[in-house]
Amino acid sequence: MEQLTNNVTPMPRIGDKAPSFKAVTTQGEINFPEDYKGSWVILFSHPADFTPVCTSEFMTFASMEEQFAKANCKLVGLSVDGLYSHIAWLRNIKEKIEYKGMKNIEVKFPLIEDITMNVAKLYGMIQPGESSTKAVRAVFFIDPNGIIRTILYYPLSCGRNFDELYRTLIALQTADAFGVATPADWRPGDDVIVPPAGSCGTAKERMEGKDNLTCYDWYFCTKKLPKEEVFEKIIKK
């Protein structure tokens, strides 16, 4: 990746190929994103091991891992702590922490050791205005072709909304699978937006209700997409 003159790597953007790296994790060495070809991946960073907000997030991610897996999505975590710290922290979570009804939670997805901060810097996870020694709560959605599709950033003090992370994943997959867009606050089962009309004739037909669409104007048309149809195409049984 092109380097800026001050030796800061520019943050990858939506539509870019996910930067490649090799790393040691709690589940062995990984070659990213090549090892995950064919699957969606959520690559996320957290500030530090043995911290309460991060603990609540890892417990939630671990409890939802199977749900993400059914949507063909794998989880990969990262912090700038070392491997042994990771292992001790994850063991502590399983043996001692109970939160919101979650207990005996085993984190099975890989947690990257990034003491050098090389990976964190490669993905723009170090935000000097927030902290120069800890990664912010970054989230990268990477598709089966290794392309970055969504980027979310949260500060150190704010835990992530996991309903939104899952909703975003399903929305991305729905857009790909059905050639549609999802409106504000979309949930599976809600109406979806069809692409704008490509000609005056098509726009006229839409406005006359000939395409089984609901059109509010020529550029804003929706159609029904049942939740069952979405999940039948996306979710593994």
Question: Which residues have a catalytic role annotated?
Answer: 54
Structure tokens, 71: 């949507």
CA dist., res. 156 & res. 79, Å (int): 12
* 160 marked among binding-site residues: no
CA dist., res. 185 & res. 183, Å (int): 6
- Can you say whether the dihedral through the CA atoms of 178, 184, 189, 195 is positive or negative? negative
Structure tokens, 225: 């997409």
Other CB atoms closer than 10 Å to residue 100's CB: what's the count? 9
Please count the residues of the chain: 237
Asked if 92 contacts 104 with a C-beta cutoff of 8 angstroms, the reply is no
Report, in this order, helix, strand and coil percent for the chain, each rounded to 5. Answer: 30, 25, 45
CA dist., res. 183 & res. 154, Å (int): 23
Alpha helices (runs of H) in the chain, residue ranges in sequence order:
52-70, 83-96, 118-122, 162-178, 200-207, 227-234
Q: Could you tell me the CA-to-CA distances from 216 to 62, 175, 198, 219, 221 in Å, in that order?
A: 42, 21, 17, 8, 6
Binding site members: 137
Binding site members for substrate: 137
